Amino acid sequence: MLVSAKEMLTKAKAGHYAVGQFNINNLEWTKAVLLTAEELKSPVILGVSEGAGKYMTGFKTVADMVKAMIECLGITIPVALHLDHGTYEGCYKCIEAGFSSIMFDGSHYPINENVEKTKELVKICNEKGLSLEAEVGSIGGEEDGVVGMGECADPDECKMIADLGVTMLAAGIGNIHGKYPANWPGLSFETLAAVSEKVGDMPLVLHGGTGIPEDMIKKAISLGVSKINVNTECQLSFAAATRKYIEEGKDLIGKGFDPRKLLTPGFEAIKATVKEKMELFGSVGKA
């Protein structure tokens, strides 16, 4: 069932677990995430970056594929289709294409402009029943062309944005997209605790879910994180499994070159990664 992320995240915040956002790139990715969520009876958020939307030929293709797949696979768990790190223009395109949730990443604007644009999007999302994620501070590293310096969020600015009525808030707490460098100092729980205290019941979002140690994930959830984004880890699992298949020469045996065979190990690897994350985040059985 395609729904906004509001109810699943409100429940997650109250129940002290987190819902995973898994970024999708193509049909295999989407099918792997949806089937795993259904098997585990977990709510799920499908994340689509602007780059991935473009790759899949446009947001309308993505929205129509996801809706059709939910129907054809008989998916009963709540699924949100969410724009990841959206530009102002991208947000409008996804609203029109039929997404159920959007993220407006206004973190690179001066705070007043971030507030003005977010306010406008809150109004339209409320009218249309979509959930809206906003960002304060920034996530380090690069997410599909969106580059951040990784500055920690100012808790007062977080409150300012939360008070506009967004559904969930991504606050920079030292998290980074992609692999973490060996000298990464870890998440700033001090910032997270201060933000959490300011924004009360607002579900918080942890970007850069790949490679964060389990104890840090659990602590972040205990401090109010209710949505965790994972992208790179599924890409790495997919690539490793596909490499293994080809290196073992399996594409050369019989019809092993058939894409439905060639892509199966990668598909299974994505499923295994998603399962592992859902178990860690505590969302299993919460649909």
Residue in the block written with tokens 């058939």: 258
Which residue, 66 or 245, is less far from ligand 13P as judged by CB? 66
Contact stretch for ligand 13P (CB under 6 A) within 5-13, 36-44, 56-64, 204-212: 204-212
Residue 172 CA to residue 224 CA, distance in Å, equals 14
Shortest gap between Cβ of 233 and ligand 13P (angstroms)? 6
Contact stretch for ligand 13P (CB under 6 A) within 202-210, 241-249, 258-266, 279-287: 202-210
Shortest gap between Cβ of 52 and ligand 13P (angstroms)? 10
Is 143 a residue that touches ligand 13P (CB under 6 A)? yes
Shortest gap between Cβ of 277 and ligand 13P (angstroms)? 10
DSSP string, 246-258: HHTTGGGSTTTTS
CB atoms within 10 A of CB 14: 11
Which residue, 11 or 177, is less far from ligand 13P as judged by CB? 177
- Number of amino acids touching ligand 13P (CB under 6 A): 16
Using alpha carbons, list the distances in angstroms from residue 197 to 45, 114, 194. Answer: 25, 22, 5
Is 154 catalytic? The answer is no
Amino acid at position 165, single letter = G
Shortest gap between Cβ of 193 and ligand 13P (angstroms)? 21
Residue 114 CA to residue 5 CA, distance in Å, equals 21
Q: 147-176: which residues touch ligand 13P (CB under 6 A)?
A: none
Is 178 a residue that touches ligand 13P (CB under 6 A)? yes
Which residue, 6 or 277, is less far from ligand 13P as judged by CB? 277
> Hey, what are 99's tokens?
């997404």
Tell me the three state secondary structure of residue 167. Answer: coil
Using alpha carbons, list the distances in angstroms from residue 104 to 124, 127, 164, 242. Answer: 12, 17, 13, 34
Is 118 a residue that touches ligand 13P (CB under 6 A)? no
Which residue, 121 or 245, is less far from ligand 13P as judged by CB? 121
Shortest gap between Cβ of 93 and ligand 13P (angstroms)? 18
Using alpha carbons, list the distances in angstroms from residue 253 to 133, 166, 246, 249, 261. Answer: 47, 53, 10, 7, 11
Residues that bind ligand 13P (CB under 6 A): 23, 47, 84-85, 143, 177-178, 207-210, 229-233
Q: Which residues are catalytic?
A: 84
